[in-house]
Amino acid sequence: MRMGSKRSVWLLALFAALFLLLGLLLGRPQLRDEPPNLSFSSDTDGLKAWRELLQERHPLVGEWRQRWDELPAGSGRLLIAAEPAGVSGVEWQALHEWLKTGNSVLLLGDLPDQPFWELTEGWSPAPDEGEPSEATGSDEQAESDEKASGDQKAGTDEEAPLSAVDASALLGPGAYEAQAEASPRIAVLDGEGEALVTDERGTLAARQSVGSGSATLAVEPRWMQNGTALSGSHAELMAALLAGSWTEILFDEQHHGYTSAPGAFAVLPRPLLLASALLLLALLLALWSAGKRFGPTRVPREWTVRRGDETVRALAAWYERFGLMDEALERQRRRLRQQLAQRWGLPAAASPEQAAAAARSRWSEEDALRLRRALEERPLQAAGRKAARREFTARSKEASELAALLRGGAEPGRGHRR
């Protein structure tokens, strides 16, 4: 190989490698940044890990992508709503009525609009002498709380420090740690539920009964997120909060921006659906009364079944009884003349000799003579009823054989074709 050819090959390989490298660098697909707290998200701020775990332990685990005022009827269901956004007052009221029927809800996050508890800013220790003033300490606390809340909502991968929490009301005595940097705390008043998880600043999780159901609020959604689900005592806390014999577990996705439009029967008002059903029923009754039938078309048997031998026998007996056998033979002669006109073009007034002459060029001599005899107007010569009947039968049979020869569907009765 020449030096120039080798150089061209190396340059071509170099350009191909550069092209592939640029394609990998520029065309690398970017992962979509999903919103936080999605039950089907594998990001660090998603809830997919807990959803898959629940699917292994419960028969029915799914998503709810409609408004809360359209929640399914029945009891025994658990609705998990992690930081739902844009919940209207009508939906909160509908959720409250839904809980009264024996269902439960687990709310996660700082939800100031929820109607079950009041949220406080938590407890802050008083500064000692020589430390910054109270106003300065309050400002620094507010800034740190705002920063922690911003990091939490932004879904950063930086893990917040763990702090000691008291979960004896939920898990029994023990040392538990959890992320508890969220500034709001739950104000649990006497007779309005019980505190489940607390720290030195207040209540982090609480539950209260609502009719036959219950409502649970945890201000820290990071306890359930993928990136921090195994940190500290988060797994134990969430397992206890989710414990129960639920018939169905629903993750709320409607307030994360994922909705499913209801069907036409759910959108249309019930009076309109009822009126449409009655109108359709009236239309079907009108068609039925007008004689319309729905089903296969049945053809009467007498239109499809060929007449049997009994018809011919009946006609023969009728002709014989009334002495009309000569008329029957005349009908047979007219039928033969009609077939001769259709097949061979002979005129209807052709004589028997002319028909026999035309038949000699097509049939045998014997068949031509039979055709001439069949076309001759000869009354029955036999004396007596039985003899006349035998002669009539023989002449009718001969006429039938000649008609079959004209149709070309049978062999000649006698002799051979030329």
d(CA 137, CA 127): 7
Higher-scoring residue by pLDDT: 285, 80:
80
| CATH 3.40.50 in the chain, residue ranges | 48-122+160-261
pLDDT at 296 over 90: no
Query: Which pLDDT does position 152 carry in this prediction?
Result: 45
**Which phi-psi region, left, alpha or beta, contains residue 357 (left: φ > 0; alpha: ψ -120 to 50)?**
alpha
d(CA 137, CA 265): 59
Query: Which pLDDT does position 306 carry in this prediction?
Result: 59
Q: Are 173 and 192 in contact (CB under 8 A)?
A: no
3-state secondary structure of 144: helix
344: DSSP letter: T
d(CA 92, CA 71): 12
Other CB atoms within 10 Å distance of the CB of residue 382: 12
Q: Which CATH number fits domain 48-122+160-261: 3.40.225, 1.10.3470, 3.20.20, 3.40.50?
A: 3.40.50
In this structure, of 153-162, 236-245, 317-326, 329-338, the range with the lowest mean pLDDT score is: 153-162
Task: Place 24 in a pLDDT band, splitting at 50, 70 and 90.
Answer: low
Query: Which pLDDT does position 295 carry in this prediction?
Result: 62
H or E segment and range at residue 376: none
Task: Place 149 in a pLDDT band, splitting at 50, 70 and 90.
Answer: very low
Phi, psi of 205 (to 5 degrees): -145, 140
- 180-191 residue pLDDT tens: 887 789 887 767
306: DSSP letter: P
In this structure, of 35-44, 128-137, 281-290, 305-314, the range with the lowest mean pLDDT score is: 128-137
Dihedral sign from CA coordinates of 171, 174, 175, 180: positive
Residue entry with tokens 């002449």: 395
Tell me what percent of the residues of the chain surpass a pLDDT of 90: 31
Average pLDDT over the chain, rounded to whole? 80
Task: Please tell me the total number of residues recorded for the chain in this structure.
Answer: 418
pLDDT at 125 over 50: no
Q: Are 199 and 163 in contact (CB under 8 A)?
A: yes
